[in-house]
Structure 1
Amino acid sequence: MLLPYYQKQSKYNRVSQPLLVTRVLVLTAIFILTPICVVLRPLPSSSPSAAHYSTQDFADDSPALQEPMSGPTQTQRPIDPTELAARLDAQLAVDALFARQSTTLVQAISRYELRTNRHPPPHYERWFQYAQDNKCLIDEYDQIHRDFEPFYELAERDPGYFRRMIERAKSELAADSSGICVIDIHDGIASASGYCPTSYVDAWPITFDKFSRILPDTTFLISSRDEPRVVFNTRDPAALESALGNATDNSPFHISPRPTTAEFFDKQSGCQVPISGHGFMRSVNAEHSFLLSTYQPGYTTDLYPLLSMAKATPCFSDILFPAEYYYDRSWWSGKFGYPDIITPWEEKQPKLYWRGSSTGGKIVGSNYHNFTRFKLAKLASAHPTLMDVAITNFEKHLCDEAVCDGARVIEEYNITGKGEPRENVYEFKYAMDVDGMSFSGRFLGLLKSGSLVFKATIFTEYFSPWLRPFEHYIPVKPDLSDLVQRIEWANANPVEARRIQQRGLAAAKRVLRDEQNDCYFAAVLFEWARLTSFKLSL
């Protein structure tokens, strides 16, 4: 592992309330007085690492290759007042978010206590200073509090529960890690305990070393798979007593129903995932690849503490952390070439664009017809004036020839195997983000692309409370039943569509930076460390 990373940061110069008011007045005056002939210049990049990258000849699912490339010549064009207003609105929204954060340790502690009804974890002042130095949000961590709340409630009844379940997991995983790593933090240094089976072997050490120096000693469990693992509905009325009872899962993190996972989820509490959050309950289970036929299940039905990249609630109770897909510094990031020079909005095609592989789940017979990506391709073929969609690569490892006719699937969906540069999305007003094996990992990259993002997912991720539907992106039901209607709305309401696009762009660039991800990850581990040595004195 790498040694801890030390770098002195400037103090957090937060946007004060009077300054925010002044900025509103100044920017409003600019909007009113700026001549239409003002030349539009590209927005500054959110970080020095967002240089130019080439993804030529790679499918959209592939991480961007970090090779410099020259960009097109920037041309001058008049500012559209509608665009200026949308940018102003987006920048003010982010300014307001930062302006309402705590500015002192005392204030931060009081707000933490108000939100959680408990004191902050030991050494919270270290995290607070780290967050200020890195210009992070201070108070907006409700997702962390939600993820840990069941464990705090258990700790009130059984203070040793959290640590005991960690030790039990380590023992169960000793022979077969099932994609889970055990990470020790000792004297500010992070190191893997035993075998760590992960594709992020080069990425995680860099991430951990950004903040391990401020962490108390602890040991945590982290999943290297995209799929969530802890199938336990804490909202079930019997869940608390069930967790306090003896563990019933004889093979934790190894439950792998075959040939599909559909029947397994049908029997689990909270695992009927609704298509919509309102109206009559209608399950999406029969229309989503993850729920129908998970590629790598490896579940447990006991409540173990485990860090995962995404989860479907209330079916899963994993604790969320930022995936490497969302770090600009990471090879796994969904970066795009020419991040500061994009096709002007009015020159983009008013269509929805998506390219990707056939990921989603194990194909058994004709079940792929209900996989989200295949449904998207079929829907697009029926609406060519609204969508430009293609499956570019067939994932053979998801097709066991004993139960899957790969040639038939390839022919049915005209899968050519030819990838396209992900920068092609710049030519379209709308970009689609849709689940694959689990979450897609593209979301932040698409928000930064300059297109309005349409997102269909059943998963919660660490940023879900920060990136809100109808404010930063257009939500789409996971069965895609309202996608056509959503696109037609965007075409009929260009001003409002532009406002949402700009808000998503500003939030992705200014809020969800690498440093913010580090602050989130560190905050998670402070809570984790407290629960491993919980005392009834909170």
Structure 2
Amino acid sequence: MIVLNKRLVQFIIAASVLSLLGVLFLHDDDPASASAPAPRPIDDLIRNARDELDALLAKESSNVKDAARRYRERRGRHPPPGFDAWVDFALANNATLVEDFFDQIHHDLGPFWGVEPATLRWQARSFQHTISVRNGSASFRSDRDRRWMVLWHNLTNSVARHLPDLDMPINVMDESRLLVKWEAIEGHMARERASRVLAPVENVTDGYPQLPEPVLDPEPFDARWISTGPYWALARDTCPPGSDARNAEPPTNTSGPPPMPEGFPAHSYSGYVQNWTLAKDPCAIPHIQEMHGTFIEPISLKTSKELFPMFGGSKLPMNNEILIPPAMYWTEDPFYSGGEEDHGGPWAEKHSKMMWRGAGTGGRNKKENWTRFQRHRFLSMVNGTSVRQAELSADPPPNFELPSYTHYPLGAVEDGGSLGAWVDTFSDTGFVHLVCFPAQGNKHCPYTDPYFAVRQGMDMAAQYAYKYLPDLDGNSFSGRYRGFLRSNALPVKATIYAEWHDSRLVPWLHFVPMDNSFVDVYGIMDYFLGVDGVRPGHDAAARTIAEDGQAWANRVLRREDMQIYVYRLLLEYARVLDERRNVLGYVDDLLHD
């Protein structure tokens, strides 16, 4: 029998009483801290994102030999001529050199391996808006002064001394242009896959040809431009046969609220974006045709089903342009960047709010279709008055429906709370111009004035004083994205557009992805902000993503990284346009083994 010391017994009893009182005290004053918070889906997504980046960085190359080996492993062919000089240029500019970062180049150029090089060269030199490189210097021609052409020429010329002769047709419109049928692209890609051969070293050559001087006023080839009809009717043919998107007819009625997701959005994990690639691909989310201005009615339509080389700053995943860094990313204009040096004050000094200012762009929003436009929907969904109307009124808002609280159990609505009142506590968002169609000659619009007040504009640098910066498509991609990433605020990104840098950014690690329906916006803000007295927020997680994203952007989205990307892209492009492309390559590393 064990006999306890009397003093020890007294100590145990006292400790037990104090422990019980502590539990009761915590329970009474802070229900959220009475027990460890239950895991949230976003916790898993953030953790998995870190693993994804670690796997990428494990492939980093530090010399030409490693880079060439990794190229052959990933691409199935020898690197292009000049690859060694490109690697030296990248490393001299302190680049993080991971072959996966250049996947977009090979995705974009792949179909052109199925077209005869002579045809590609003729198409390229015959286009109206073209940047040409000859003897290590770049020039350009266009129909008139175009700011983006000047900037793209400047970017190309900054690396032109390293480049072979070539011609680059440029898309000068906001909207993407090429929509080649899926079957045609698949045929070209079959030829590309068949060409992936590591040619014997003795058969490989490394010299690019000289091209004749550019023609000032060439006779253009016929791209068979299409300027009428619903965009979706053209776009769906780029999706695989038998897919839901391919079979989806364009909507006949674009008034009223769009069809919001029933349950969790596609390609999500418990309601939050998991597969970022599919979540922004119209072929994988065909309902997007009814809730995005690109498909409702774009500002302009000049589209071709022909495959020819055309470079542009953004595109839909279904388009066939060749991506280059957008001109507005290359400019140092603070309107787009917020300034190259001023990226916002310390996190702790920022407003714990969501900030957005912008115009009601996205296409031709009209009285009969504005309720289907993405920017209008988002601003309604983060407007407390509109949300209260959706909660309480038999006459719901005209352009959105609230998500199911079963799928998104929000702290704000526990115990009968008001979602709209909670939204008011964090949302500072508004249009600075309603962009009416037809134009009204001012910032207002008679059919949207009842729903949106026109707000005062705000410089990007001033927006960095807020913690949460949603970024939304306009007529195409958002030119603010790089600036937001390089700030120390947290970008919350929704888009259907692809950009040059997509394979080097990891969602949930460098930014927060948002579904294009925006049904997850309340859950995202609930996770990061929490709800006073109901559930804790995750401010530290928001700060980590914001600051890690900034550090990463300053590592892989610098002006030098844009030069490195364009340099590599144009080496690859010049090879595709050469008749000897199957034996053009870099093999010096193999010769010296």
Match of 2:314 in 1: 310
Larger Rg: 2
Q: Please, which of 152, 156, 171 is the counterpart of residue 204 of structure 1?
A: 152
Match of 1:296 in 2: 300
Match of 1:164 in 2: 119
Does 2:232 correspond to 1:257? Answer: no
Q: Please, which of 472, 494, 501 is the counterpart of residue 456 of structure 1?
A: 494
Match of 2:75 in 1: 116
Q: Distance in 2 between matches of 1:237 and 1:307?
A: 20
Q: CA RMSD in A?
A: 3.3
- Would the aligned equivalents of 1:306 and 1:319 in 2 still touch at CA under 8 Å? yes
- Would the aligned equivalents of 2:148 and 2:328 in 1 still touch at CA under 8 Å? no
Mapping of residues 199-348 of structure 1, within 5 Å: 199-232=147-180, 234=182, 236=183, 239-240=186-187, 252=223, 254-258=225-229, 260-266=230-236, 269=239, 276-277=266-267, 283-313=287-317, 315-327=318-330, 329-331=331-333, 334-336=336-338, 339-340=341-342, 342-348=344-350
Q: Distance in 2 between matches of 1:400 and 1:162?
A: 45
Q: Distance in 1 between matches of 2:124 and 2:135?
A: 24
Q: What is the total number of aligned residue pairs between the two structures?
A: 423
Match of 2:60 in 1: 101
Amino acid at match of 1:478: N
1:360 shift after superposition: 0.7
- Would the aligned equivalents of 1:354 and 1:388 in 2 still touch at CA under 8 Å? yes
Match of 1:394 in 2: 434
Mapping of residues 130-145 of structure 1, within 5 Å: 130-138=89-97, 139=99, 140-145=101-106
1:167 shift after superposition: 1.8
Match of 1:423 in 2: 461
- Give secondary structure in 2 for the equivalent of 1:355: strand
Amino acid at match of 2:350: K
Q: Distance in 2 between matches of 1:469 and 1:410?
A: 33
- Give secondary structure in 1 for the equivalent of 2:306: coil
- Give secondary structure in 1 for the equivalent of 2:428: strand
Match of 2:373 in 1: 371
Which structure features the higher share of helix residues? Answer: 2
Q: Distance in 1 between matches of 2:239 and 2:51?
A: 42
- Which deviates more, 224-233 or 278-287? 278-287
1:307 shift after superposition: 1.1
- Would the aligned equivalents of 2:134 and 2:166 in 1 still touch at CA under 8 Å? yes
Match of 2:583 in 1: 537
- Which deviates more, 513-522 or 503-512? 503-512
- Would the aligned equivalents of 1:231 and 1:299 in 2 still touch at CA under 8 Å? yes
Match of 2:547 in 1: 502
- Give secondary structure in 2 for the equivalent of 1:141: helix
Cα gap change, 1:534 to 1:489, in 2 (>3 Å): farther
Q: Distance in 2 between matches of 1:476 and 1:420?
A: 23
Does 2:437 correspond to 1:437? Answer: no
Cα gap change, 1:257 to 1:385, in 2 (>3 Å): farther
Where structure 2 has 5 or more consecutive residues not aligned to the other structure, the ranges are: 1-48, 192-220, 249-260, 270-283, 388-422, 530-536, 585-593
Q: Distance in 2 between matches of 1:304 and 1:206?
A: 23
1:359 shift after superposition: 1.2
Q: Please, which of 140, 150, 174 is the counterpart of residue 192 of structure 1?
A: 140
Does 2:526 correspond to 1:488? Answer: yes
Match of 1:149 in 2: 110
Q: Please, which of 508, 525, 534 is the counterpart of residue 570 of structure 2?
A: 525
- Residue deviations 1:186-214 (CA, integer Å, cap 9, x gap): 10011124646632243233212210000
Q: Distance in 2 between matches of 1:366 and 1:289?
A: 13
Q: Distance in 2 between matches of 1:408 and 1:385?
A: 29
Q: Distance in 1 between matches of 2:339 and 2:62?
A: 36
- Residue deviations 1:129-154 (CA, integer Å, cap 9, x gap): 221222223333112122222223x1
1:454 shift after superposition: 0.3
1:331 shift after superposition: 2.9
Where structure 1 has 5 or more consecutive residues not aligned to the other structure, the ranges are: 1-89, 245-249
Quote the sequence identity (%): 27
Cα gap change, 1:490 to 1:417, in 2 (>3 Å): closer
Cα gap change, 1:169 to 1:126, in 2 (>3 Å): closer
- Give secondary structure in 1 for the equivalent of 2:446: helix
- Which deviates more, 94-103 or 449-458? 94-103
1:333 shift after superposition: 6.4
1:531 shift after superposition: 0.9
Cα gap change, 1:103 to 1:345, in 2 (>3 Å): closer
- Which deviates more, 447-456 or 330-339? 330-339
Q: Distance in 2 between matches of 1:110 and 1:145?
A: 17
- Residue deviations 1:27-81 (CA, integer Å, cap 9, x gap): xxxxxxxxxxxxxxxxxxxxxxxxxxxxxxxxxxxxxxxxxxxxxxxxxxxxxxx
Q: Please, which of 339, 354, 357 is the counterpart of residue 355 of structure 1?
A: 357
Q: Distance in 2 between matches of 1:101 and 1:243?
A: 30
- Residue deviations 1:475-505 (CA, integer Å, cap 9, x gap): 1011212111111112222222222112211
Cα gap change, 1:425 to 1:299, in 2 (>3 Å): same
- Give secondary structure in 1 for the equivalent of 2:356: strand
Q: Distance in 2 between matches of 1:242 and 1:197?
A: 37
**TM-score by structure 2 length?**
0.64
Does 2:429 correspond to 1:384? Answer: no
Cα gap change, 1:426 to 1:281, in 2 (>3 Å): closer
Q: Distance in 2 between matches of 1:338 and 1:145?
A: 30
Q: Distance in 2 between matches of 1:305 and 1:277?
A: 32
Amino acid at match of 1:461: E
- Would the aligned equivalents of 1:222 and 1:308 in 2 still touch at CA under 8 Å? yes
Mapping of residues 25-104 of structure 1, within 5 Å: 100-104=59-63
- Give secondary structure in 2 for the equivalent of 1:454: strand
1:120 shift after superposition: 1.0
Q: Distance in 2 between matches of 1:409 and 1:243?
A: 50
Q: Distance in 2 between matches of 1:476 and 1:391?
A: 20
Cα gap change, 1:193 to 1:238, in 2 (>3 Å): closer
- Give secondary structure in 2 for the equivalent of 1:231: coil
Amino acid at match of 1:354: W
- Would the aligned equivalents of 2:360 and 2:435 in 1 still touch at CA under 8 Å? yes
1:441 shift after superposition: 1.1
- Would the aligned equivalents of 1:203 and 1:330 in 2 still touch at CA under 8 Å? no
- Would the aligned equivalents of 2:359 and 2:434 in 1 still touch at CA under 8 Å? yes
Amino acid at match of 1:452: L
